[in-house]
Amino acid sequence: MNTAPAAPEAITATAAPSAPAEAGAERTRKFEKCVEVLNRYHRNPAKLIPILQEIQESYRYLPEEVLVFVATSVGLPPARVFGVATFYAHFTLKPKGKYVIRLCDGTACHVRASQPILDALRGRLSLTATEQTTPDMLFTVETVSCLGACGLAPVVVINEDVHGQMTPETAVALVDEICTKEQGA
Amino acid sequence: MEQKTDQKPTVLVDGREVTIDGERNLLELCRKANIDIPTFCYHSNLSVYGACRLCLVDVKGRGVVTSCTTIPEAGMEFKTTTGEIREMRKIAVELLLANHDMDCPTCPKSTTCKLQDLARKLGVREVRFRKTNRVEPIDRSSPSIERNPNRCVLCGDCVRMCDEVQSIGAIDFAYRGSECSVVPAFGKDLNTVECVHCGQCVAVCPTGALTPRSEIDAVWADIDNPKKVVVAQVAPAVRVAFGEQFGLAPGAAATGRMVAALRRMGFDQVYDTSFAADLTVIEEGHELLGRMASGEKLPIFTSCCPAWVKFSEQYFPELLPNLSSCKSPQEMFGSLARYILPKQLGVAPEDLVIVSIMPCTAKKFEAKRPEFQHDNIPGVDHVLTTQELITMTDAAGLNFPSLEPESFDMPLGFKTGAGVIFGSSGGVTEAVLRFAAEKVTGKPLTQVEFHEVRGNEGIREATVALGEASVRVAIVHGLANARALAERVRDGHAHYDVVEVMACPGGCVGGAGQPVSNDPGARAQRAKGLYEADRTTDLHKSQDNPMIREMYETWLGEPGGPLAHELLHTHYASRKRITDSDFTVLPSAEKRPVCVSVCVGTNCYLKGSQEILSKVLNHVETNHLHGAVEVKGTFCFENCGQAPNVAVNNQLIESATFEKVMEAVNEASCPAKSPA
């Protein structure tokens, strides 16, 4: 599995004295990546979606200022870029946690009782349908409408890892495991 | 064979034969056959969208289709009204009403609303669906346009108008499905984005979702205040549209009765913006001839249209020196009235209230520009649209047809025909040519009509001979046309002496403050009305206006002279399209970091600002300067001519290079660094 994305500055800023430097370097790297992506697509407005996809990969969300920068660079009005970014569920304008937990609520998972798992995860992390990310930016819990793994229903995907035949207990155990790992780190 | 090609192809509409005459779709064909097909989203000058699902027809062999998206084919047979179609249209309107803010009696669009009209025409008597939408806040940030999302039917007319005709795209669809809405970027307020206030979105909005901001209450308050002396100036385009609401045909002059109505409402003096337009001709004419003599800053772009002015400030900062420094007629009137009326009318300056009646929403924005405030007093206090004046006429209980025509007050109400045709695309150019021709040749101009500059095409070009000399003119209306032409001028591909720009299609007669008209020919009719008014006026040349001459002799001195310059001219500055959009690339938690702001706007980008930004970031990283240096991307220093621009703390570095920037950074950080 690829390395976990770097922690956002909100956490690192208070973690260690050298943290601001790291966060700064991180931001520089992201911005350079942003410019590199734009140049690779020749600032072609027709390539807006792949450009946004790649930029979201490095930022983990689409910050407003980055969207304005992209709009200016490809020669589209910011309102159009905003429209595209809000149309597709894949794009997010809010920062997401280090661990994005996607619970499938498609038909198969739903009938195999995905709802109690969602309730348990939200209960464990004090999240709601509108508050999907923990204040420490560690976890985001969201539902998706089918992951195409109905044989494993109900399914939870944490970042890139698929966990099948979940129960409320096993799902919460996964969260606990990550918490322990993070505290040790 | 030959006979066949001569015969035009036909279709059968409701059993009647209709010839295809180049119509692009079945909807146009039906309109030609005088069948009124309901639609929200079809406008002949916008792209076909097919969203409202109202213009349904039943094509034999194909079934029910939208007529706006179906191309006519020879031999096609279709029905425009069947039980099925009526039912489908009714349900479509019912669904729209289910989520509509039904505050019709208090909506400014009441009686001119297409949704209201269609619900009535289709016989919708109840809404069977449950209301599900949430209440969205009303955006009143703009001085020109009020945006009420709760009345939006998502037809997209405004979005396409702003994007296709005006080439701006300040508003667009965002979100999806039941969440879908039309908003400025990031859901910001309209006043903080690149909207130029032209209001063409308002002009096409079928409901009350986008309406002109009303200043009616403020005007009544001043009229009711016995201390205040309230004077009105009426723009040329208002008089040929005002009567439409009272049963007159578009273009029919209602000038005399409109003046009478204003007096009856309580305006103390009623003046004519056409007088100020004559003044503009003299000032701008001198400016043009001066520039032609020196060969500098050509072409001269007109600056009467405030939407165009804001547009050029946002997108063409390098052309700003070419904009005429003349204030618009509205603001020239304001300055002059503030200067002479307190003495002439014997009124204390603070008690003089100047109200403009304009065909335009952008004039509301113009009146609030800081350039036109002197000692916190604006040149113009309130701007009413033609629509608002109609509302006030109704509110005052005036029976418009029975009013006896009256004339404007002197001296600021006396105009020539040149000042009247300002309201039509091409009018400003023609008026200036009438002045320049006499000035250049030194002979009286007998043939005053310049037909080569009139017309409806979006971009018109002509070379007009003035004696020995000739003037190359270009006239554009619609900002997409203006953008295309300005790009050619900027890049050196087109050469003119005068470029006239009006943001609204047709010029001011097609302004967003004009009465809502369902007659597509209304704009042309109003323009015709202005040219007729010019023909029936005794004087046609601004320089022949005796009141203008008197104004220069008594008050202003020489045209273009010091006082004229102070009162009648202004300046422009490039501006950001989106405010508050700085982009912190590298933040600093320290109290006083050296702040490097690199402009990443288009101009600076093209001149290599991004390379400087990368080098600065690399430098910070390799030298471990994190915290000591903060790096920002910004979207315009309003200095595009000297691109690339970089600011270090508050010091602006023009034509910047990495070396220049680092020199400034080192200088700025020296005191902080010395202890280490």
pLDDT on residue B133: 63
The residue ranking higher by pLDDT, B604 or B458, is B458
Q: How far apart are CA B155 and CA B41, in angstroms?
A: 5
Q: Are residues B244 and B378 in the same domain?
A: yes
pLDDT(B258) > 90: yes
Residue type for position B223: I
Lowest mean pLDDT among A38-52, A90-104, B256-270: A90-104
Chain A positions touching B185 (Cβ under 8 A) are: 68, 71, 77-79, 81-82
Lowest mean pLDDT among A49-53, B152-156, B524-528, B632-636: B632-636
- Report pLDDT for B669: 73
Residues B222-250 have a mean pLDDT of: 93
| DSSP at B400 | G
Phi-psi region of A34 (alpha: psi -120 to 50; beta: other; left: phi over 0): alpha
Q: Do A24 and B172 touch (CB under 8 A)?
A: no
Co-location of B617 and B653 in the same domain: yes
Could you tell me if residue B573 is inside a domain?
Answer: no
From residue A148, give the alpha-carbon distance in Å to each of A89, A104, B387, B402, B410: 17, 9, 57, 75, 80
pLDDT over 90, % of chain B:
65
B130 by Cβ neighbours in 10 Å (0-12 / 13-18 / 19+) ranks as exposed
The pLDDT of A4-27, averaged and rounded, is: 45
Q: Which residue has the tokens 């000399």?
A: B469
Say how far apart CA B81 and CA B98 lie, in whole Å.
24
pLDDT above 70 as % of chain B:
95
Counted domains in chain B: 4
- Tell me, yes or no, whether B345 and B421 share the same domain: yes
Question: What whole-number distance in Å separates Cα of residue B104 and Cα of residue B113?
Answer: 9
Asked if pLDDT for residue B648 goes beyond 70, the answer is yes
- Give B299-317 pLDDT, tens digit per residue: 999 999 999 999 999 888 8
Would you call A83 an interface residue with chain B, using a CB distance cutoff of 8 Å?
yes
Query: pLDDT: is A15 or B518 the higher one?
Result: B518
- Written as six digits, the tokens of A182 are 């993070």
Specify the long-range contacts of residues B556-564, CB closer than 8 Å, at least 24 apart.
B559/B282, B559/B283, B559/B286, B560/B283, B560/B286, B560/B287, B560/B290, B564/B283
Q: What is the structure's pLDDT at A185?
A: 67
- Give A133-185 as a 3 state SS string: ECCCCCEEEEEECCCCCHHHCCCEEECCEEECCCCHHHHHHHHHHHHHHHHHC
| Predicted local confidence at residue B639, as pLDDT | 66
DSSP code, position B553: I
Distance from CA of B237 to the nearest CA of A (A): 32
- Looking at beta carbons, which residues of chain A come within 8 Å of B589? 13, 20
For residue A154, whether the previous peptide bond is cis, meaning omega lies within 30 degrees of 0, is yes
pLDDT of A2 reads: 41
Q: For the domain that residue B626 is a member of, what is the CATH number?
A: 3.40.30.10
Question: Is residue B575 a part of any domain in this protein?
Answer: no
B86 domain-assigned: no
Q: Looking at the predicted structure, is the pLDDT value of residue B485 above 90? A: yes
* Residue B403 near residue B270 (C-beta atoms within 8 A): no
Q: What is the pLDDT of residue B130?
A: 82
Please answer whether residues B613 and B605 qualify as being in contact, where contact means their C-beta atoms are separated by less than 8 angstroms: no
- Is B348 within a domain? yes
The per-residue pLDDT for B640 is 66
Strand B56-59 and strand B10-13: the pairing is unpaired
**Closest by alpha carbon to B196, among B139, B142, B137?**
B142
> What per-residue confidence (pLDDT) applies to B581?
59
The CATH number that domain A99-184 falls under is: 3.40.30.10
Q: pLDDT for B417-442, tens place per residue?
A: 999 999 999 999 999 999 999 988 88
Is residue B452 within 8 A of residue B462, CB to CB? The reply is yes
pLDDT at A11 over 50: no
Name the β-bridge partners of A139: A99
What value, to the nearest 5°, has the Cα angle with vertex B170 and ends B165 and B174?
110
pLDDT greater at residue A58 or residue B514 = B514
For residue B323, the domain's CATH number is 3.40.950.10
Residues linked to residue B271 through DSSP beta bridges, in sequence order? B233
Q: How would you class B465 by CB atoms within 10 Å of its CB: exposed for 0-12, middle for 13-18, buried for 19 or more?
A: exposed
Between these two residues, B363 and A39, which has the higher pLDDT value?
Answer: B363
d(CA B501, CA B520): 22
Of B69-78, B230-239, B375-384, B588-597, the range with the lowest mean pLDDT is: B588-597
**Quick one: average pLDDT of B523-532?**
92
Quote the tokens at residue B77: 């047979």
Among B39, B177, B194, which residue's Cα sits nearest to residue B117? B39
Q: Return the structure tokens found at B398.
A: 């005036």
In 10 A of CB A146, how many CB atoms? 15
Give the dihedral sign, CA B630/B635/B638/B641: positive
Average confidence (pLDDT) over B4-12? 78
Angle at alpha carbon of residue B414, lines to B426 and B446, rounded to 5° = 55
* Terminal C-alpha separation, chain A: 18
A32 vs B: CB within 8 A = yes
* Size of chain B, expressed as the number of residues it contains: 676
Mean pLDDT of B305-330: 93
- Residue, of A22 and A78, whose pLDDT is higher: A78
- Kindly report the nearest CA distance between residue A86 and chain B, in angstroms: 5
Residue B344 dihedral angles phi and psi, to the nearest 5°? -65, -40
Q: Where in chain A is the domain with CATH 1.10.10?
A: 9-87
Residue B579's pLDDT is: 60
- Given a cut of 90, is residue B273 above it in pLDDT? yes
Res. B518 pLDDT band, cuts 50 70 90: low
Q: Are B509 and B521 in contact (CB under 8 A)?
A: no
Return the structure tokens found at B188.
Answer: 């910001």
Whether B6 is covered by a domain: the verdict is yes
Test mutation, A28, A88, A90, chain B, max B CBs within 10 A: A28
Mean per-residue pLDDT over chain A, rounded: 84
For B239, half-sphere exposure in the C-beta direction (CA atoms, 13 angstrom radius) is 31
ipTM of the shown complex: 0.85
Give per-residue pLDDT as tens, B382-415: 999 999 999 999 999 999 989 999 999 999 999 9
Q: How confident is the model at residue A9 (pLDDT cuts 50, 70, 90)?
A: very low
For the domain that residue B147 is a member of, what is the CATH number?
A: 3.30.70.20
Beta-carbon count within 10 A of B383 CB = 31
Sheet holding B56-59, edge to edge: B16-19, B10-13, B77-79, B56-59, B63-66
Q: What is the mean pLDDT of residues B480-497?
A: 94
Q: Do B586 and A20 touch (CB under 8 A)?
A: no
Q: Write down the pLDDT at residue A58.
A: 84
Contact check, Cβ <8 Å, A65/B610: no
Q: Is residue B403 part of a domain?
A: no
Which regions of chain A carry the CATH code 3.40.30.10?
Answer: 99-184
When CB atoms are compared, the residue of B171, B584, B635 closest to A79 is B171
Per the CB < 8 Å rule, is B193 touching A86? no
Q: If you search the block for the tokens 């009686």, which residue do you land on?
A: B111
Min Cα separation A166/chain B (Å): 31
Which residues fall within 8 angstroms of residue A161, CB to CB, at 6 or more apart? A1
| Domain presence at residue B577 | no
Residues B249 and B332 in one domain: yes
CB B441, CB B466: distance < 8 Å:
yes
Query: Rounded CA gap, A79 and B549, in Å?
Result: 49
> Quick one: DSSP state of residue B552?
I
CB neighbour class for B537 (10 Å; exposed up to 12, middle 13-18, buried from 19): middle
Q: How would residue B578 be classed by pLDDT, with cut points 50, 70 and 90? A: low
What confidence category does residue B580 fall into, taking pLDDT thresholds of 50, 70 and 90?
low
- Whether A3 shows a pLDDT value over 70: the answer reads no
Integer Cα distance of B83 and B481 in angstroms: 44
Q: State the pLDDT at residue A22.
A: 52
Q: Which residue of A has its CA nearest to B600?
A: A69
Q: Is A9 on the interface with B (CB under 8 A)?
A: yes
Domain finish residue from B81, B112, B127: B81
The last residue of one of the domains, among B178, B194, B212, is: B212
Per-residue pLDDT, B638: 61
Residue of higher predicted confidence among B28 and A11: B28
Whether the CB-CB separation of B524 and B425 falls below 8 Å is answered with no
Q: Which residue has the higher pLDDT, B131 or B497?
A: B497
- pLDDT tens digits for B179-213? 899 999 999 999 999 999 999 999 999 999 999 99
Banded pLDDT at B79 (limits 50, 70, 90): very high
Q: Determine the residue type at B336.
A: L
Mean pLDDT of B548-576: 89
Q: How many residues does chain A have?
A: 185
**Residue B267 burial (C-beta neighbours within 10 Å; 0-12, 13-18, 19+):** buried
Other CB atoms within 10 A of residue B345 CB: 15
Task: Tell me, yes or no, whether B203 and B223 share the same domain.
Answer: no
- Distance, in Å, from the CA atom of B116 to the CA atom of B209, rounded to the nearest integer, reads 13
| Confidence label for A14 from pLDDT (cuts 50, 70 and 90) | very low
Closest-CA distance of chain A to residue B169, Å: 6
Contacts of A105 (CB under 8 A, 6+ apart): A114, A115, A118, A143, A144, A145
Cite the active site residues of B.
Answer: 284, 287, 304, 324, 363, 366, 371, 508
User: Which of B195, B212, B229 is the endpoint of a domain?
Assistant: B212
CA distance A28 to A43: 20
Say whether residue A10 is in contact with chain B using an 8 A CB cutoff.
no
Across the interface, of A23, A24, A78, the residue whose CB is closest to B185 is A78
Range of the domain at B125: 92-212
- Burial class of residue B630, CB neighbours in 10 A (0-12, 13-18, 19+): buried
| B490 and B361 co-located in one domain | yes
* DSSP 8-state secondary structure symbol assigned to residue B297: S
Chain segment A129-140, per-residue pLDDT in tens: 889 999 998 999
Place of tokens 């079809």: B42
pLDDT reported for residue B627: 77
pLDDT over threshold 50, residue A6: no
Of B603 and B195, the structure prediction assigns the larger pLDDT to: B195
Task: Give the separation between CA A72 and CA B582, rounded to whole angstroms.
Answer: 13
Question: DSSP 3-state assignment of B607?
Answer: coil
B174 and A9 within 8 Å at the Cβ level: the answer is no
Rounded CA gap, A96 and A113, in Å? 26
Sign, CA dihedral B315-B321-B322-B323, equals positive
Let me know whether B317 and B233 are in one domain.
yes
Report the distance separating Cα B4 and Cα A149, nearest Å. Answer: 63
Residue with tokens 């909807």: B27
Q: How confident is the model at residue B660 (pLDDT cuts 50, 70, 90)?
A: confident
Residues B627-642, mean pLDDT to the nearest whole number: 73
Element (H, E) at B358: strand B352-358
- Give CA–CA dist A127/B370, Å, rounded: 48
**Closest to B632 in 3D by CA, of B593, B578, B584:** B584
Q: For position B37, which CATH number holds?
A: 3.10.20.740
Q: What is the pLDDT of residues A20-61, one digit of tens each?
A: 555 666 777 788 888 889 989 999 999 999 999 999 988 889
Q: Give the whole-angstrom CA distance, residue A127 versus residue B266.
A: 62
Among the listed ranges A18-27, A59-68, B59-68, B472-481, which one has the minimum average pLDDT value? A18-27
Tell me, yes or no, whether B314 lies in a domain.
yes
CATH (residue range A9-87): 1.10.10
Q: Is B459 helix (H, G, I), strand (E, B) or coil?
A: strand
Q: Choose the mutation target among A32, A38, A72, A87 for the interface with B, i.e. most B CBs under 10 Å.
A: A72
